[in-house]
Structure 1
Amino acid sequence: MHRAAPPAALILGAAGLIPFLGLSALVILGQPLLGLAPRPMLAAYGAVIASFLGGLRWGAAAASPEGRGVDYAVSVAPSLLAWAALFAPAPWDLRALGALVLAWGLVDQDLPRRGLVPAWLGRLRLALSGVAGLALLAAGVWGST
């Protein structure tokens, strides 16, 4: 039986896309947000969310009876890569973060296949990572530096 995603996961997941979409639009339009440059805010939010994604794998490994060491090691990669991306010059910061978020949506697809997370989470992760990653990439390609 395939269980549907809980409404809270859908609502909070969708709400988490608002900063990606809004800040990316402001970066592309070259508009400040309350007098602040949106680019560093978008990069910081992207890095925070990338770290959150790594935490998902860490939690799955901790909840698994086998608790494979490789899952723990892989779980820290998004945080480290996102932190490094913050040091990259514009536009490469947002491009790297966008590629990371997109790729991690695919990397984590082994979790539902292995039964470590529900199938709905794998589908939700693909959708959310797709939108967030494309928003970061769009801002990195079409945004002002």
Structure 2
Amino acid sequence: MHRAAPPAALILGGAGLIPFLGLSALVILGQSLLGLAPRPLLAAYGAVIASFLGGLRWGAAAASPEGRGVDYAVSVVPSLVAWAALFAPAPWDLRALGALVLAWGLVDQDLPRRGLVPAWLGRLRLVLSGVAGLALLAAGFLGAA
């Protein structure tokens, strides 16, 4: 396993934060994006990324010789919570998604400890989930409902 994060993971991970930061800023400033309301775009992006995070655990479970059933069960939680958050009224949609993304960065820290993913991925996930979660929460608390 890699000792340092591959450049592609850093570049693509960082690029994945652009919609969180940009759309959150637009929500907070009350601006549109090419005539589109940024709040539903941000919520949809947050839900998609939350589902992606669950997929990471599913993939780690599938690659593990143990293939623990609890990992498969836990892996579907972000998708289900994110889907429900899309039906929540503003500002709870973004607040729920922000809390989910932040929390999932911590939940998945058992994966590198158990040797299911490289250590660099755990560190990268903390940073990416931290920035994305805080951007969602900022938009949920500071943006117009």
Q: With structure 1 as the length reference, what TM-score do the two structures score?
A: 0.99
How far did residue 8 of structure 1 move?
0.1
How far did residue 83 of structure 1 move?
0.2
- CA distance in 1 between counterparts of 2:22 and 2:144 reads 15
- CA distance in 2 between counterparts of 1:143 and 1:105 reads 24
User: After TM superposition, what 4+ stretches of structure 1 lie above 6 angstroms from structure 2?
Assistant: none
Q: With structure 2 as the length reference, what TM-score do the two structures score?
A: 0.99
- CA distance in 1 between counterparts of 2:27 and 2:102 reads 19
| Correspondences of 1:1-145 after superposition (within 5 Å) | 3-145=3-145
- CA distance in 2 between counterparts of 1:16 and 1:144 reads 24
- CA distance in 2 between counterparts of 1:88 and 1:35 reads 23
The count of residues paired between Structure 1 and Structure 2 equals 145
How far did residue 2 of structure 1 move?
6.9
- CA distance in 2 between counterparts of 1:69 and 1:114 reads 15
- CA distance in 1 between counterparts of 2:76 and 2:92 reads 21
- CA distance in 1 between counterparts of 2:66 and 2:4 reads 26
How far did residue 103 of structure 1 move?
0.1
Give ranges in structure 2 of 5+ residues lacking alignment: none
